[in-house]
Chain A
Amino acid sequence: MKVSALLVTATLMLPVFMTACTNAEAPRTAADPAAPTDKEWSMPNKNYASTRYSTLNTINTDNVKTLKVAWTFSTGVLRGHEGGPLVVGETMYVHTPFPDIVYALDLAKEGAPIKWKYVPKQDPKVIPIACCDTVNRGLAYADGSIFLNQLDATTVALDAATGKELWKIKQGDYKNGQTITSAPMVVKDKVISGISGGEFGVRGFVTANDVKTGKQVWRMYSTGPEAEVGFTGTDNEKSWKGDEWKRGGGTTWGWYSYDPELNLFYYGTGNPGSWNPDQRPGDNKWSMTIFARDPDTGLAKWAYQKTPHDAWDYDGINENVLIDLTLNGQMRKVLVNFDRNGFSYTLDRATGELLMAEPFVNVNWAKGIDLKTGLPIENPEKRTSSAMNTKDICPSAMGGKNQQPVAYSPRTNLFYVPANNLCMDYEGVKIAYQAGQPYVGAIVLSRPGPGGNRGEFIAWDPTTGKKAWSIPEGLAAWGGALATGGDVVFYGTMEGWLKAVHAKTGEVLWKFKTPSGIIGNPMTYTGPDGKQYVAVLSGVGGWSGIAVAGDLGAEALPTDALGAVGAFGDVGSFSTQGGVLTVFALP
C-alpha cells in the first residue's frame, strides 16, 4: 500500500502532455434534414458534412476588427485542448483533455455560470498509454443526451439537462493499449465511436452503440477477415503476411461525417500496426483508408486506401468533408480529404471513384496519384527503411495537415486548410529504449520545409485543385478552421493567436492572443441575447512542443526545451500550458 499511495500521488502531480493525434469532421452542403439551426453548434464540426461553416453573418469583414472578449472560462486542466465546445439551446457544453471533464455552462445568465460538471473516474494508469497527449476532441449531442468518449476507452451518455450518467460502456481495455480520443457521432439511433492506440499494435475498429441503452449494435474492424471488416470481395488478409493483421493498426481516432441521403458515414483509418515496414510486407489493408459504411449495418460500401504499405506514418485519419461540386461541368456529390501524406483527395462519395488528387503542400515521397489505379506514384528514394537513413522527406510524419479540421464555405467555394510545412529525416541507427529493452530505432527528425515557415493557412479551390491564397505561419496553424456567412474565416495558431481573415482574399482583419497556444477549433453561435459569438479553446499540447513532437513517434527529440532539434522546440517561448475558453462578440 505504501508504494501505490506514492504512485498515485506522484502521478497526480505530474503534468502530462498530449499531442495532436487529432482529426477533423465533415461539412454539410449535402442535404442534411437533421441539421440544427445555425444559432446552435451541436456537432464538433458543425454538421454531418463537416464543413465547419455557419451562416451567421452579424460578424462580417467590416466589423470584425472591433471584436472583443465577451467572457472567458478556465477548464482547470493543463494539457492539450483539441476540439471545441457545443452549443445547444441556451447551454454550452465544454469538454477537457484527461480527466475528460464535461461542463455545462448557462448562456442565459451573465458570465455563463456552471449548470453542472461531470468528472469521469478513470485510472491514472491510462495516462502513459495515450500515444501523444491525453487529448479529447469533443462531444456529441442528440435527443437530450451528451455523449463522451473517455481516454480509458469508455463511452458515456449524460443527461444534457442535469449531467446525470445515463449509461456507460467499455469499448476497449486501456491495459491493452486501447484508448479513445475522438469525438463520437450520433446517426439516427446509434452512437458511432472509434478507437486509438495504433502505436501499440491495436487493431482498429469502429463501433455503433444504441443511443438509449449503450448496447453494442455492431463493430467493424479495419483489418482481417471479410466478415469482421464488413467488406466483401476483398483481399484483406492477403495484403499482410501471416497474422500481422491481428495487430494491424488502422485505428480510427479521427473525425466522422455522414450523408443522410446516401445513408453512408465516412472516416479514415490510421497507420498500419506496430511492426516496421520490412516486417509487414503487402498493402496492409485497410490501414490508411477512407471507409464509407452503412450506419445501420456497419457494412462498408467502398474503401479507398490512400497510402498502401505505409513507411512514413502518414496516419490517414483526417476528416472527410462532404460537398456538392461542379467538376468538368458536371455536378458531383464528393468527399474531400486533405491527407497527412500531403495530397488532397476528391472522391465520388457514393462510389469511391477517385476524381482528383493534388498535393496541397510540398510533397516529394510521391510524384502524384494515378487516378485510374488510385495508387501513389512513389519516389523510391523516399521510401523509408529502418535499416538506413532517408533524408528530406516531405511532408513529415506530422503530415501536410494533422487532425485540425478544415472549413468549407459554399459562398466562396473554397476550403480553408490549416496546414504544416514540414519535412523529415528518417534515421535508422539510433539507440532507443522501451519497456526496459534497448533497440535500434528509426528516429524521425522533423524540420521546417522550404521557406522556413512551419505552418501555412491555405485557401484551396476544389474545382482546380490549386491554392487561391495562403498565409505563412511561423509556428503552425495547428487549430481547426471556421468559415462564416459574414465571409470571415477564423483559425488558431500554436502561438495562441486567434486570427480572423477575409474569406476571399486572406487579408488578416483581426487577431487576438489567447492565454495559451491554440490546437482547438473555433466555433460560432447565437447567444440567448441574439448576439453572434465566436469561441475557441486554447491550451497548448505540451511544453516545448512535445505535443507536436510526440506525434512523430520521436521520443528521441530532446524534449526539454529551447534549442531542441525538432521542428517545434520553441513552442514554449510563446505560451505555456492551461486550458481556457475565450468567447468573443462585437461590442
Chain B
Amino acid sequence: MTHRASAFIVVLSLFSFSAGFVQTSRKEDTKQFRVCADPENMPFSNQKLEGFENKIAEMFAKEFGASLRYVWWGQRRGFIRNTMNATLKEARCDVVIGVPVGYDLVQTTKPYYRSTYVFVYRKGIQAPIKSLDDPVLKRIRIGVHLLGDDYTNPPPVHELAKRGIVENVVGFDTFYSAENPPGRIVDAVAAGKVGVAIVWGPVAGYFAGRQVVPLEMVAVPSGKTDLPFAFDMAMGVRPGDTALKEELEKVLDRKQMEIQKILKNYGVPLVDRALGKAISK
C-alpha cells in the first residue's frame, strides 16, 4: 500500500508546488528538494536510489530539512529540456547532482570532485598501459562507450582516431537494455573480450570493484594537443537561480568530507586538480 500512497503524494505535489527550489506549498508545510536524475544509470543514480548521486541528494535534502523528490529522465539528449526546463513548471526539478563544469545548459556550482577517463585492463595479464601512444593500443581490442548522439564519442576515442586507431575499437552502448548497461564494458574486460577499455572514472571504479578478476585502472593522460580527459564535476541549477546555487555551495563546503567518503565508497577515481593524476581509487 505504501507505493500507492506515495504515487498519490507525487501527483498532489506536482500541482501544489510552484517552481523553485526547496519550496513551501501554500497548503502544506513541506519543503521539497527536487532533483533531476536518470532512473537507470549506476553508479550515479537509479530508481532504487542506489547510486552515489542518490546518496548525495539524500544528504542535501536532510541538510535543507526538505523532502526529496525526483524527476526521472534518461541522461541523454532532452534530459534538461524534459526535467529542469519542463513546460509545466509544476513538473520541473531544480538540481542535477552531477554535471561537468562548463555544461552550459545549466548553471554549475563550484566543483566538488574531479575524475578522469581511465584505462581498465586485467591486472597481471595485460602489461601496464599508461598512454594513448602505447603501441599495444594498435594491436589489442579497445572497448569504449558510445554516448548516443552523433559526434559525441568520449574524448579519448577522438584522440585514438587521430592516432589512426579505429578498426580495433569496439563500441558499447549505454541503453536501458541490459541490467547495468554501462557496466557491460567492464564485464568485457574481465572476460577477456577486449584487452582494455577506456571508461569514465566513476563508471570504471564502480564496476571494476564488482569483478572477481582483479582489474587495474590507470588515468588516461591527456597529451599536449589532446582534448581534456579529466573533468571537474559540480551540481547544476537553472541558469539564473543563483540563490539556490549559493545554498548548495554552502552545503558542499560544510559536507565536503562526507561527500568524499560517499565517492570513495563507490570507487570513484578522484583526481587532484593541480597534478591531473589519479590519487585514489
Known contacts being A201-B173, A431-B100, is A436 close to B153, with CB within 8 Å?
A: no
Please provide the chain B residues from 20 to 78 with a CB less than 8 Å away from any CB of chain A in the complex: 38-39, 41, 44, 47-49, 70-78
Q: Let me know if B177 and A442 touch, CB within 8 A.
A: no
List residues of A whose CB falls within 8 A of some B CB: 1-11, 13-17, 125, 128-129, 131, 173, 175-177, 198-201, 241-242, 244, 247, 271, 274-281, 313, 386-387, 429-442, 543, 546, 550, 553, 555-556, 558-560, 577
Residues from chain B with a CB closer than 8 A to the CB of A11 are 72
Please report the C-alpha to C-alpha distance between residue A436 and residue B36 in the assembled complex, in whole angstroms: 12
Q: Let me know if A436 and B98 touch, CB within 8 A.
A: yes
Task: Determine which of A177, A241, A556 lies in contact with B173 in the assembled complex, contact meaning CB atoms within 8 Å.
Answer: A177
Residues from chain B with a CB closer than 8 A to the CB of A244 are 166
Q: How many residues of B contact A (CB 8 A)?
A: 78
Residues from chain A with a CB closer than 8 A to the CB of B80 are 555, 559
B17 at the A/B interface (Cβ < 8 Å)? no
Residues from chain A with a CB closer than 8 A to the CB of B100 are 431, 433, 438
List residues of B whose CB falls within 8 A of some A CB: 2-4, 6-7, 10-11, 14, 38-39, 41, 44, 47-49, 70-83, 85-88, 90-91, 98-105, 145-155, 157-158, 161-162, 166-169, 171, 173-177, 182, 200, 202-203, 227-228, 231, 233, 238-239
Q: Let me know if A274 and B149 touch, CB within 8 A.
A: yes
Residues from chain B with a CB closer than 8 A to the CB of A131 are 77
Known contacts being A3-B47, A6-B7, A176-B177, is A199 close to B78, with CB within 8 Å?
A: no
Q: Let me know if A546 and B81 touch, CB within 8 A.
A: yes
Residues from chain B with a CB closer than 8 A to the CB of A6 are 6-7, 10, 47, 70, 72
Q: Let me know if A556 and B104 touch, CB within 8 A.
A: yes
Query: Distance (Å) between the CB of B19 and the closest chain A CB?
Result: 11
Q: Let me know if B161 and A274 touch, CB within 8 A.
A: no
Residues from chain B with a CB closer than 8 A to the CB of A560 are 85, 238-239
Query: Distance (Å) between the CB of A317 and the closest chain B CB?
Result: 15
Q: Let me know if A7 and B153 touch, CB within 8 A.
A: no
Task: Determine which of A271, A274, A437 lies in contact with B154 in the assembled complex, contact meaning CB atoms within 8 Å.
Answer: A437
Q: Let me know if A558 and B78 touch, CB within 8 A.
A: no
Please report the C-alpha to C-alpha distance between residue A10 and residue B152 in the assembled complex, in whole angstroms: 29
Please report the C-alpha to C-alpha distance between residue A433 and residue B3 in the assembled complex, in whole angstroms: 32
Q: Let me know if A437 and B145 touch, CB within 8 A.
A: yes
Please report the C-alpha to C-alpha distance between residue A366 and residue B25 in the assembled complex, in whole angstroms: 58
Task: Determine which of A7, A281, A430, A432 lies in contact with B39 in the assembled complex, contact meaning CB atoms within 8 Å.
Answer: A7
Please report the C-alpha to C-alpha distance between residue A430 and residue B149 in the assembled complex, in whole angstroms: 14
Please report the C-alpha to C-alpha distance between residue A16 and residue B71 in the assembled complex, in whole angstroms: 13
Please report the C-alpha to C-alpha distance between residue A433 and residue B103 in the assembled complex, in whole angstroms: 7
Interface centre among A1, A16, A558, A560 (most CB of B within 10 A): A560
Task: Determine which of B87, B105, B167 lies in contact with A555 in the assembled complex, contact meaning CB atoms within 8 Å.
Answer: B105
Known: A241-B166, A244-B166, A438-B200. 13 other contacts (CB 8 A): A4-B3, A9-B7, A14-B71, A199-B149, A199-B150, A242-B167, A242-B168, A275-B171, A276-B161, A387-B158, A432-B152, A434-B148, A553-B149
Residues from chain A with a CB closer than 8 A to the CB of B79 are 128, 555
If over half of B's interface residues share one DSSP class (helix, strand or loop), that class is named, otherwise mixed; here it is loop
Interface centre among B74, B75, B148, B182 (most CB of A within 10 A): B148
User: 6 tightest CB-CB pairs across the interface, nearest first?
Assistant: A438-B100, A242-B167, A431-B102, A1-B3, A5-B7, A15-B87
Q: Let me know if A176 and B167 touch, CB within 8 A.
A: no
Please count the residue pairs between chain A and chain B whose beta carbons lie under 8 angstroms apart in the complex. 228
A-B contact pairs, 26 of them (CB 8 A): A3-B47, A3-B49, A6-B72, A7-B47, A10-B10, A13-B14, A13-B91, A128-B82, A201-B148, A241-B166, A244-B166, A274-B148, A274-B152, A276-B152, A279-B153, A281-B166, A432-B103, A433-B100, A434-B75, A435-B74, A435-B147, A435-B174, A441-B152, A550-B81, A555-B149, A558-B105
Chain B residue at minimal CB-CB distance from A280: B166
Task: Determine which of A201, A241, A436, A543 lies in contact with B202 in the assembled complex, contact meaning CB atoms within 8 Å.
Answer: A436
Residues from chain B with a CB closer than 8 A to the CB of A7 are 39, 47, 72
Please report the C-alpha to C-alpha distance between residue A555 and residue B79 in the assembled complex, in whole angstroms: 9
Known contacts being A5-B6, A278-B158, A556-B104, is A17 close to B173, with CB within 8 Å?
A: no
Q: Let me know if B182 and A200 touch, CB within 8 A.
A: no
Query: Distance (Å) between the CB of A215 and the closest chain B CB?
Result: 26
Q: Let me know if B70 and A10 touch, CB within 8 A.
A: yes
Residues from chain B with a CB closer than 8 A to the CB of A4 are 3, 47
Chain A residue at minimal CB-CB distance from B90: A13
Residues from chain B with a CB closer than 8 A to the CB of A280 are 166
Interface centre among A14, A173, A556, A558 (most CB of B within 10 A): A14
Q: Let me know if A434 and B87 touch, CB within 8 A.
A: no
